[in-house]
Structure 1
Amino acid sequence: MALPIITGFDKGDTMKRILTSIFAFMLVLSLLTGCGKKPVIPDDDDDPIPTEFTAKVIGNTSGNLMNGGQYAEAGGWVYYSSETFDESTLTIATGLFKMKSDGSSLVKLADGAYRSINVVGDDLYALTQDGVFTMKIDGAAGRILPGISADPMGMILVLDETIVFLTQSGEIYRNSIDGKNPKELADVNAYGFYYQDGWLYYGINDASYTIRKVKMDGSSTTDVSTGGRDFVFADKRIYYRNMMDNANLYSMAMDGSDVKKISDVDVNSINTDGRKLIVSSFTGVRVLNFDGSDDTVLSDEYAVTLSIAGDFAYFVSQDFSPQHNKLSLSSGTLENILKVRRIDPQNDVVMGSGISDPYIVRMGDWIVYRDSGELTKGIYKVKTDKTSKTKLIDAYAHNLTLIGDWIYFVNDSLNNYLCRMKIDGSEKGVVIDLPVNDFVMKDGWIYYTDLNEIKIMRAKMDGTLISVIDDSDALGEIKLSQDFIYYQTIGMEAGNFGIHRIALDATRKFTYLDDSIQSFIVDTEWIYYTTKVSENELPMQIVRMNLDGSQSVVMDYFDEYVNVIGVGDGMLYFETWKNEAGSVNRMNPESGQRQLVFTSDLRNDHTVIFENNLITLKNNEDGSVNVYLSDLDGNNRLLIVE
């Protein structure tokens, strides 16, 4: 189990914005429902909290809450919000779980995403998109607390029967658990807070990086320091990132005096297990004594946030497709804990290269396509006579390949992993549990671009025997012709954006062009590509070049944008567009004669050639799609999917 995927962030921004993409929706929802309104303070404010309030039970540690609060430990149990792999649907689901501190006795408590988890006695509290949620620690009696107008993207801290929370504007309030005693503690724009020895310390989003403290009855507001962010409490001191010194690790006394530099490493997250400091930096996850000595790198993975429970640190590494990690603080052992089971190794080999396209493919009477609508997302199949439309998987996907009776695809809902399923939707499985951009297949091998390594790799059809084909910065489309891969590289150095090829056995690498190529296709004898004529966006041109690169000729010039589509019945098909208007056209490669096939909204349309037909996938504003089928000359155009 692991933390939810947390996107990269600037720790100079509001800490409370550290969230998974799941919580991006929460702000909109809270605005619509009004849960971000300021609490209404009763006229007769009989404050039950004395000035010298002392909390007996505190719901979570400062380090965990400052890092998002997805983990909390109490009574030998770890309570956490995590993503898990659903093998039946090839998707990731999120839930609330508990387990013993040693990782045993795992129990799922609820579905959904939770943050700022607090545990007080037999009660658990957490932020959700609907407000402050509470349940018993056995999962019973779950409900939303009334009268607590907390920002669902913020922070809560439960102290006995009192809850402290942020509004959407960053003001700090407290209330009783029953919601009947609201009290404003700080009218500021705060990113976080924590209780220590009768004071509530809080950090302000201002140019000075101010840290203040206030009594729990709202009195005695006192400046503690400036220049510090993302503070935690340990060893009777405050540890923080000094934003006036490159976010280096500092500490100070509880009143802001006795400032000490602990490390000259810039850190992005701080936590503690009570015995040592655990911090993350661009050099990895480090553990060190409170005085900065014995600084040791436990892992070279870059942690976005850092939670501590028991003898383990839990974090998500910063990568194109983040890895969920559990790090032993004693041994340094690192484990990827979002366990995605791959398909079992297999001996069967499907010969040929299959039929591929980023969005839509056809085999015989079947059309297989992807839909990216929020309510309609998935991979579907439908017959060319409009019948038997079937949803095969409920996931965002791209790069579909039909080979044998299998559909291989990149699963955008599962970290861009390469997956497969039977054409009837059965036997779903993960082939390569690494982020893939594009891939082609031939004779039992998969050739793909790895989004982490930015290299061309190859693997067997069951995902085994992975090796590097080309270590160039290849990140564009891969095209297959005979025994060669054709591709583009992405970057700023010479040769990038041009067309390259390499043999399937990783030999005979060849660069055709060091130019900015907009689109290209590879036919049996020719490469067709589009490029700008000059540094200006327009005009553009279509160029034909033979496969050894020895000859090239400009086929035509265009005062509009142009992409090549493919070759069918001896004709080159291409699309042109400018402003709102576009069209699909074809050209005789020998004579250069052009012919309009049909007009199209090319900002949203994708047209391909399959089996003497043109198939067009039209993306609607809501992400849903329509599918059209026509002859190669544009006649007999039929709406297959409405």
Structure 2
Amino acid sequence: MGKNENSLSIDSFEQINTTTGVLPTDEQNTLSSLTTSELLGFEGGNIGAGGLVCSGKDGCIYYRSESDGWKLYKAKPDGSGKTKLSNRVQGYINVLEGWVYFCDFTDDFSIYKVRTDGTDETKLVDGYCNNLYVTESGMYFDMRDRNNSPQIYYADLDGKNMKMLMPDASLMYYYKGKIYMGTGQLGVYDIKTGNEKVLVETYVHNVSVDDSGIYYWAADKGEFHRLDLDGGNDKVIIRSGDYFNYCGGNLYYEGISENKNGPCHTINSLNIATDKIVILLEEANESVGYVYVAGEYLYMRASLRESILVNGKLDCIARLDGGVTIWD
């Protein structure tokens, strides 16, 4: 049975393990020969949440700056060393092997890459692209055609050898040689074998996949679910809530709770294995959004009154570290 978020125990903030368990390989994968694990340029459900924050192997955080017109920046986790990498307005940020990949909103959502030091900015794919997942085997994304219908594509990391994988579908996730697709329903397509399977026949969003299963928000039902990787054992994890991002055993979301001041919105982390909820932000009654996982750190795009005092702007990126730190 599923459970209502208000029936779960709520504890004070504690350190959350966001490790995904994905192991890097030493050899470059190709589309025709995928190994069981590969380097990924994204974490958890960050891309499904717009991909505004991403961690790099160099210890830096790559992000869309709220304080400088949505330009591409990097900084250390504590917010020091802020460096502009590009003037392009981006989303779906991936960081892999010294490169930052993103879609540029000001150039019809075309795909670009730039080195992590801000040099060699290059246009890779020209077109209305979304839902960009970058791995060492290549780039997976959807692109709108002339009829404004999304088609799922693969391309090499240099933008070459572009190939349509699935017509008339939106890319929801990529994991271990399989693409998860849909909106009106959730399906999976095995790139190597060509096998296709419908997993869920309902409107889905906020899909994330790891070795423990497939996680998704059944938007029309107001429920967050987990499936086995073969599509069996569909289970409701939580009912109600919004802005879901599953990563590494934890589900981050906006919920509703109550304290001495009455009902309030909260930003929560639910440990899937223990059913334990940690409140990351209490009385989140201002405009808040997704939590982004960046290694061991958590960030959130929000509109907070405190940001006006710190940055002179309402919109900000906040770091969740036992409290709320206006980070950008």
| TM more than 0.5 | yes
Query: Is it true that 1:488 corresponds to 2:171 in the alignment?
Result: no
- 1:380 aligned onto 2:76: no
Residue 359 of structure 1, aligned match among 52, 75, 95: 52
Moved over 6 A (4+): 348-351, 620-624
What is the SS of the residue equivalent to 2:214? strand
SS at match of 2:200: coil
C-alpha distance in structure 2 between counterparts of 1:532 and 1:611, whole Å: 27
Identity of counterpart residues, as a percentage?
18
1:520–1:459 CA distance, 2 compared to 1 (3 A): closer
| Partner amino acid, structure 2, of 1:498 | Q
Deviation sequence 1:398-430 (CA, Å, 0-9, x none): 110100110011011112110011111110110
Q: 1:431-486 deviations in whole A, cap 9, x for unaligned?
A: 01122112112224111101225211111111111111111x223x5312222112
Q: Does the 8 Å CA contact 1:470/1:506 hold for their aligned counterparts?
A: no
Contact kept, 8 Å, 1:360 with 1:400, in 2: the verdict is yes
- Residue 469 (structure 1) aligned with residue 156 (structure 2): no
Q: 1:575 aligns with which of 234, 254, 258?
A: 254
2:213·2:226 contact (CA, 8 Å) conserved in 1?
A: yes
Check whether the contact 2:93–2:102 (CA below 8 A) recurs between aligned residues: yes
Alpha-carbon displacement from aligned partner over 1:373-399 (angstroms, at most 9, x marks no partner): 7x6231111112322111211122111
Aligned partner (choices 394, 419, 431) of residue 112 of structure 2: 419
Alpha-carbon distance, 1:498 to partner: 1.7
Partner of 2:150: 454
Please state if 1:391 is matched with 2:77.
no
Secondary structure at the counterpart of residue 188 of structure 2: strand
Is 1:562 the counterpart of 2:245? The answer is no
Give the number of the structure whose alpha-carbon radius of gyration is greater.
1
Gaps of 5+ in 2: 1-27, 31-37, 258-262
Query: What is the SS of the residue equivalent to 1:597?
Result: strand
What secondary structure, in the 3-state scheme, does the structure 2 residue paired with 1:355 have?
A: coil
CA distance in 2, matches of 1:605, 1:405: 28
Between the aligned partners of 1:403 and 1:415, the Cα distance in structure 2 is 23
**Offset of 1:602 from its aligned partner?**
7.3
* TM-score of the two chains, using structure 2 as the length reference: 0.73
Work out whether residues 73 and 86 of structure 2, in 8 Å CA contact, stay in contact via their aligned partners in 1: yes
Displacement after TM superposition at 1:601 (Å): 5.2
Corresponding position: 1:430 with 2:123: yes
Q: Which amino acid aligns with 2:254?
A: E
TM-score (norm. length: structure 1): 0.39
Post-superposition shift, 1:637? Answer: 4.3
2:290 corresponds to 1:606: yes
Whole-Å separation in 2 of the counterparts to 1:629 and 1:575: 15
Matched residue, 1:524: 211
Question: Distance in 1 between the 2:224 and 2:103 partners?
Answer: 30
C-alpha contact (below 8 Å) 2:244/2:253 kept by paired residues: yes
Supply the AA of the counterpart residue of 2:318.
Answer: Y
| RMSD, matched Cα | 3.0
User: Counterpart of 1:630 in structure 2: which amino acid?
Assistant: L
> Could you say if the C-alpha distance between residues 619 and 506 of structure 1 is closer, same or farther in structure 2, counting changes exceeding 3 Å?
farther
Matches within 5 A, 1:17-416: 352-355=39-42, 357=47, 358-363=51-56, 364-371=58-65, 376-416=69-109
- Contact 1:577–1:602 (CA<8 Å) still a contact in 2? no
- Number of equivalences: 272
Contact 2:140 2:174 in 1 (8 A): no
2:194 to 484, 495, 507: 507
Q: Which amino acid aligns with 1:410?
A: C
Aligned residue runs from structure 1 range 609-628, under 5 A: 609-619=293-303, 625-628=315-318
* Cα distance change, pair 431–586 in 1 and its aligned pair in 2 (3 A): same
Q: How far does the alpha carbon of each residue in 1:564-622 deviate from its partner, in whole angstroms, 9 at most, with x for none?
A: 21234x433332369x9532212232453433222335744331122222122225799
Q: 1:595 to 1:630 in 2, by over 3 A?
A: closer
The one-letter code matched in structure 2 to 1:549 is: G
Structure-1 separation of matches of 2:315 and 2:181: 28
CA distance in 2, matches of 1:527, 1:602: 31
Amino acid at match of 1:552: D
